[in-house]
Amino acid sequence: MSGQRAQLQIQLTVTAETAYMRCCDEAESCILKGDECNPKVKFFRALDEALTKGIPSDPFNQKMALSGSLSSIFRFSQENLRVCYLGHGQQRRIIVLYICQSSAEETDSYATFAYMVMSGKFDAAFASLGLRPPDRQGFFPSPSIN
């Protein structure tokens, strides 16, 4: 193994795992009904490919980093799929924080994600990678988010 790169370990937070399992269950239900062309099946296949191939192909590309106080978080986007994650190159670890299906209200899903990060929901993920969570000074929660 001396010449091989260590394989990237991908973990999911409870939030991401819940979304992943919901997508998996919806896709499986469609397949069992014989509806393999359903958009839910297509979305789950895209999600699975993002986690196994898309993100691992170039996980720390700075072009994929979010901006501002969320700049330590990366985003994978493909069609209507959005995956936000943290990573540590030396540890060869990725922690998926958030999975969503984008819509016309894409800014709302990112506002929800930003609120989750800034509220401390993912602080344990930051800590497990040895990363500091974003600076919350001056952060005001959006009244439209519960």
Residue 135 lies in a domain: no
Q: What is the pLDDT of residues 33-45, one digit of tens each?
A: 999 999 999 999 9
Averaged pLDDT for residues 89-98: 92
Residue 133 lies in a domain: no
Please give the residue range of the domain that contains residue 73. 9-128
Q: 122: which 2 tokens? A: 């993912």
Residue 81 lies in a domain: yes
Residue 32 lies in a domain: yes
Residue 146 lies in a domain: no
Question: What is the model's pTM?
Answer: 0.86
CATH number (domain holding residue 77): 3.30.2310.20
Residue 1 lies in a domain: no
Burial class (CB in 10 A: 0-12, 13-18, 19+), 105: exposed
Contact 133, 122 (CB under 8 A): yes
Averaged pLDDT for residues 105-126: 85
Residue 143 lies in a domain: no
Question: DSSP strand E in 16-126: where?
Answer: 74-78, 81-88, 93-101
d(CA 83, CA 127): 20
Neighbours of 86 (CB within 10 A): 22
Residue 139 lies in a domain: no
- As for how many domains the chain has, the answer is 1
pLDDT at 7: 83
Residue 53: pLDDT band with limits 50, 70, 90: very high
